[in-house]
Amino acid sequence: MSRRSRSTPAPQRSSTSPRREAGARRAVAASPPPAPGRRSAKPARRGTAAPFPTTLAALDELAAAGAKVAVRIVDLDRGSVILAGDDSTTLPIAGLGVVPLLIEVATEFERGTLHPYEIIDRTTLEPVETGGVWQHLKAPALPLIDLAVLAAATGDAIATNALIDRVGLPAVRARIESMGLSRSALLDRFRDHRGPDDAPHFALGSAEELASMFAALVNSEAISAGVSAQVAEWLSLNHDLSLVASATGLDPFAHENDDHGLLFINKTGRDDGVRVEAGVLAGPRAGVAYALIVCFDDLSIMHRLRAHGVFRALGVELMEYVY
């Protein structure tokens, strides 16, 4: 993203970065090393206490109740893993699978193999009521570049399916593989109902790879600087700030240029019993790439709210870390 690209690049993570893998029911924190004074508006935090204690307690509680949880937080400036738990486990990520699709679309725009203003007629697409706004608009046709905005900003199911139809699932899968994301996959299109002959999920991924993908976007390392900037721009329009991002105080509809020194992009994923968010949050003190996946029994609104509470706890502690 352009605002971050003017900063000193984050160092590459070394093989000795402090990281301890978690067991199936516990996330384990690794204490970050002292920071080089890149943001230096405030002193670097010190001490031996594990960061994110409220998040860790909430994750433990959910895992003890039978939920599958995975988390990864990376300090972008130090190149260190701050928090990691089951982050290599492949889990359903719902609409967050749109991000590698957007990377493929932006790559084809840049290379000229796809024209941004090619018009797609909605009547040629299978109706999907899962979510989004295009189904409610009067315009029956839109250019591909506007469909990318709808997919990024509102998780629009029909717009996403139109992009998938245009570039093809094999191209997206090849792009994912070329980025070294071995635990991620875009399996299918959005559907209102999944039958026995359909893929069981829209997309799969791991917290480690989701955090890595967002770090690559803001560090201009996702395919090219141009592709990274374009996808980051689309994602900066995302309206869903109800999970981790609820702690940022940002306007869900206009947070691309924040007056309080926050750089933020994110994408969420929602399905029955699945909540996911990944993104980048940077402030005066530090910048982080994060991903949190929670798969739970969605038996009641209280079960769902407990899952949402973990995301909001993480958001509060991320804000304390970066600001």
Residue 60 class from Cβ within 10 Å (0-12 exposed, 13-18 middle, 19+ buried)?
middle
Structural domain includes residue 21: no
pLDDT of residue 60: 95
C-alpha closest to that of 57 among 69, 48, 45: 69
Mark out the alpha helices in the chain (DSSP H runs).
2-5, 53-64, 98-111, 144-154, 157-167, 169-178, 207-218, 225-235, 301-322
Residue 12 class from Cβ within 10 Å (0-12 exposed, 13-18 middle, 19+ buried)?
exposed
Structural domain includes residue 22: no
What does pLDDT average to over the chain?
A: 87
Structural domain includes residue 250: yes
The Cα–Cα gap between 250 and 38 comes to: 24
Q: What is the CATH number of the domain that holds 257?
A: 3.40.710.10
pLDDT of residue 51: 85
The Cα–Cα gap between 292 and 282 comes to: 17
Question: Per DSSP, what are the bridge partners of residue 266?
Answer: 279
pLDDT 10s digits, 174-189: 999 999 999 999 999 9
pLDDT 10s digits, 2-20: 333 333 333 333 333 333 2
Q: What is the mean predicted confidence (pLDDT) over 283-305?
A: 96
Residue of higher predicted confidence among 251 and 46: 251
pLDDT score of 33 more than 60: no
Structural domain includes residue 227: yes
Under DSSP, the state recorded for 9 is P
Number of domains in the chain: 1
**Structural domain range at position 265:** 2-9+32-322
pLDDT of residue 131: 85
pLDDT of residue 261: 84
pLDDT 10s digits, 144-174: 999 999 999 999 999 999 999 999 999 999 9
pLDDT 10s digits, 68-105: 999 999 999 999 999 999 999 999 999 999 999 999 99
